[in-house]
Structure 1
């Protein structure tokens, strides 16, 4: 499975399961899965930052995708914190 699809699949899994369970629920991702998502999103953010540092402006699509990355990291943090 390609990293982008693995990240989307893992986040979708959290979103679906977090709606299904109220406050008391088991963790939906293993530490390995969470780190794989974070690795992918961090790489995306680093590539965008390097582009900006080299004078390449972000497109509207790039900005939207960065917001998705931030949301995914936020979901993972909520998952880990509880």
Structure 2
């Protein structure tokens, strides 16, 4: 199954995450991602979410399942609403 999830980067106790499309059977950081959509810095809040919206909506349309955290971030950023619009 293809998932949209976070891959951890950054220093110890100072994480930065990449938003990636990856096979759910691969390890979080060891598996090669299918695509990289953007990045997220939780220390700076939702404003730091930099995602290519068109590509994210395209992957959601192809059936990629967002994790719970990604779904929450996408709702706050309005990406899930754009995906719902594109389905109509």
TM-score range, shorter chain: 0.3 to 0.5
More strand by share: 2
More helix by share: 1
Using the size of structure 2 for normalisation, the TM-score is 0.33
- Structure with larger RCO (C-alpha < 8 A, sep 6+): 1
Query: Rg larger in 1 or in 2?
Result: 1
